[in-house]
Structure 1
């Protein structure tokens, strides 16, 4: 039986945007995009569990969010490539918050290695984190969201690399992100009857800790600034982590109730 999503036409905008009473999990949330996303979800009223391979940093980030906003925020050591680790993270959210309403699959890696030098282990690691990690998180989230009355939202952080080729050396990364776009569509089909929406957000390059380290590897030896590797922006500036976090907040909120299966480009016009 298909669950009908509520018609929010008469709901005030402030209530559509509010996440008060909801419970979120953000993978790879200790820094970068994930940290910005967790903070915006918390500001909108959601409790947040930050899952990250760096458990100490996840707890530090969660403590900072709890100091800023009147919500519950927890840090948890989570390896998204390990289904058991993801399951434990979900169980922690259930025990601490009483449920899961929002799950953001943000964790990802992007080693830069030319195809001919890419080892089997490197390829498999990229897909284990970027693709299987999304599958593990989405499956675990849906299991628990389908047990609740209000359904939920799963948001996959894709990339503009999920829409085309990018810098040399990122074959595994590009392939993994194309796969996540496909999973977003398929899971939207399968989860809609459970009252669960699935959306993707595809950011352009923004200056996070991981992205800046990767960009430095590509900076020419002539002394060109690291940020010059950034594709030209049509909005007159580079993007920020919070630019992406606000798009994720839209997806997580009832403002986007009509949407599922789409991947939103948050790319400053990069893919035009």
Structure 2
């Protein structure tokens, strides 16, 4: 899976390894990816490997798909999680930043899904592709999110379209759309005072209808569900994981 060295990706890799899957941790942070792979392999006695991958580079993604085939004998599950944020207001957003966000968040997901699907089709054994979108993929969220929202709306649409084209090959395609979730890199927000949280325009940062903020494992559990036979009659859908914020 991509973007799996930390955060939502690491939590998902942990759940997959715990469930007995062989997992390839692909991330641009090579050192963190290797550390995560070593940690999960030891904890779950699982086959977990790591590789450096740049989600903006199609050749790098293709190389990861090739490596996964060589290491594990084929691909059954592909999770597109790699992504970057953008906080630049619309009128200050230049072409370069916009293109870079879409290259990683949207084109990276497209290339990953395409390469996984090619290999799944060649084996004629079906498979599951899970795309990590966002609450920003179904609604506008706050100032400075034009590039990010555009990329994640694209991931939701891509998920629907890919499900149509791949269903005949036994390949299910699902999306998950997390709201704000605490991870290693956002945990500092839990220490904000009440007034700072109230003034923050990001939906869900102060909690949800369920009375708490989301955590990485909330998303990981949903991805594990999508990848499992429990979701075997689901394809094309994007599951909203926001604790009811958008309701």
SS for the counterpart of 2:174 is strand
Alignment partner of 2:53 out of 57, 78, 82: 78
Q: 1:192 to 1:110 in 2, by over 3 A?
A: same
How far is the alpha carbon of 1:209 from its aligned partner?
3.6
Equivalent pair of 2:124/2:169 in contact (CA under 8 Å): no
Please report the TM-score for the alignment, with normalisation by the length of structure 1: 0.85
RMSD over aligned CA atoms reads 2.0
Does residue 96 of the first structure (1) align with residue 71 of the second (2)? Answer: yes
Does residue 143 of the first structure (1) align with residue 130 of the second (2)? Answer: no
SS for the counterpart of 1:146 is helix
Alignment partner of 2:160 out of 165, 169, 185: 185
- Give me the whole-angstrom Cα distance separating, in 2, the residues matched to 1:234 and 1:130: 28
Instruction: Tell me what 1:224 maps to.
Output: 196
Does residue 68 of the first structure (1) align with residue 7 of the second (2)? Answer: no
Instruction: Tell me what 1:254 maps to.
Output: 229
- Give me the whole-angstrom Cα distance separating, in 2, the residues matched to 1:107 and 1:58: 12
How far is the alpha carbon of 1:207 from its aligned partner?
1.1
Deviations along 1:208-247, one digit per CA (max 9) or x if unpaired, are: 244458x79xx89x97259965154011111110011000
Instruction: Tell me what 2:136 maps to.
Output: 161
Equivalent pair of 1:81/1:136 in contact (CA under 8 Å): no
Instruction: Tell me what 1:120 maps to.
Output: 95
Instruction: Tell me what 1:16 maps to.
Output: none
Equivalent pair of 1:205/1:211 in contact (CA under 8 Å): no
- Give me the whole-angstrom Cα distance separating, in 2, the residues matched to 1:232 and 1:71: 35
Gaps of 5+ in 2: none
Gaps of 5+ in 1: 1-25
Alignment partner of 1:175 out of 146, 150, 171: 150
Deviations along 1:130-153, one digit per CA (max 9) or x if unpaired, are: 000000100010011112242100
- Give me the whole-angstrom Cα distance separating, in 1, the residues matched to 2:142 and 2:120: 37
- Give me the whole-angstrom Cα distance separating, in 2, the residues matched to 1:172 and 1:96: 36
Equivalent pair of 1:231/1:270 in contact (CA under 8 Å): no
Does residue 134 of the first structure (1) align with residue 134 of the second (2)? Answer: no
SS for the counterpart of 1:199 is strand
Instruction: Tell me what 2:209 maps to.
Output: 234
